Structure 1
């Protein structure tokens, strides 16, 4: 059976939370629940690092504006993780060239990451923090649940992931104005901090007295 549906779903989930993907796949493989997981993801050091980073993301992803900074940092990390996990899965299966799997996993991870980051920018225009907590929790639970489902029914899980990805892309068009508002606010905050720093430096600089 082709591993392509699992590769697609793991890429989609990696774009949302790459550390959860590595941790969940590794635990499932180590527990003997599935033989689809390569040994590299089951190593103890990999599981420990993925677990620690997952906890860090669980906190950062629920704090307004901090979540967007975290997303910016992970613009490269999530697609790379999606590509690596996909290549490892393909190598374990042997039914799909690793370079093809890496391209599919990385591209899908990038697309889902952009949807996640854009949606979070729109949510951050809301004055209350509860939307961030609810959305982050739903993302983590949904991505982990669908990935776990993909290990037993990869085609159905891939269809669900593809549908959610398409809906997310459509939603971004409707949230475009909020995303632009978020970017303006962030640029304004940076400018205010720059002006405040400049003012502080000016106050701290001793004046030059004229010669007597």
Structure 2
């Protein structure tokens, strides 16, 4: 069976939460739910480290503006992680060259990371913190759900991941236009207030 759907899905998920992807694959492999996961991801030390990093991300990702700083720091980490996981999966399966798998996983992770980072910048314009918590929780559950689904139905999961990626891009374009319009109106209001303040009585 081709590992390409699993590579694509893991890449998408890595762009959202790379630590969750490694943790889930490692646990699924260690418990015998799948033989698609290489031994290197099942090691106890790897699972402990990514488990701690997953908890850190789960907390940071729910705090306004801290989440954007965290995303900026992970602009390199998530795509690299997506590429490495994809290459390891391909090496374990043997049906796809590791370099090709790494390119697919890394580029998909980069795209989904940019969608996530852009969405978070838009969400941070909201004054209350609850939208950050809701979006972050939805992302965590989405990654867990789609990686679990991919273990048993890789092709269907890849189709879902591709749909979510396209939807995310559309949302980012829409939000970018709304934010530009909001900033333009805000600038125009300030300009009108300045003119009114300098207008003689």
TM-score normalised by length of structure 1: 0.84
Aligned to 2:41: 41
Change (3 A) 1:147 1:181: farther
Per the alignment, in what secondary structure is the counterpart of residue 75 of structure 1? coil
Q: Which runs of 5+ in 1 are unaligned?
A: 184-212
Partner secondary structure for residue 152 of structure 2: coil
Structure 2's unaligned 5+ residue stretches are: 184-201
Shift of 1:143: 1.1
- Tell whether the 8 Å contact from 1:120 to 1:132 is kept in structure 2 after alignment: yes
In the superposition, the TM-score normalised over structure 2's length comes to 0.89
Partner of 2:16: 16
Kept after mapping to 2: 8 A contact 1:124/1:182: no
After the TM superposition, list the runs of 4 or more consecutive aligned residues in structure 1 that deviate by more than 3 angstroms.
177-183
How big is each residue's C-alpha offset from its partner over 1:35-83, in whole Å with a ceiling of 9 and x where there is no partner?
Answer: 0100000001100000000000000000000000000000000000000
For the residues of structure 1 that align with 2:42 and 2:118, how far apart are their CA atoms?
A: 32
CA distance in 1, matches of 2:34, 2:22: 14
- Find the aligned partners of 1:55 and 1:182 in 2 and give their Cα distance: 35
CA RMSD, 1 decimal? 1.5
Task: Give the paired residue count.
Answer: 183
Aligned residue in 2 for 1:112: 112
Distance 1:167 1:2, change over 3 A: same
Q: CA deviation at 1:140?
A: 0.6
Q: Report whether the alignment pairs 1:64 with 2:68.
A: no
Matched residue of 1:121: which SS? helix
Q: Is 1:77 paired with 2:77?
A: yes
Partner of 1:98: 98
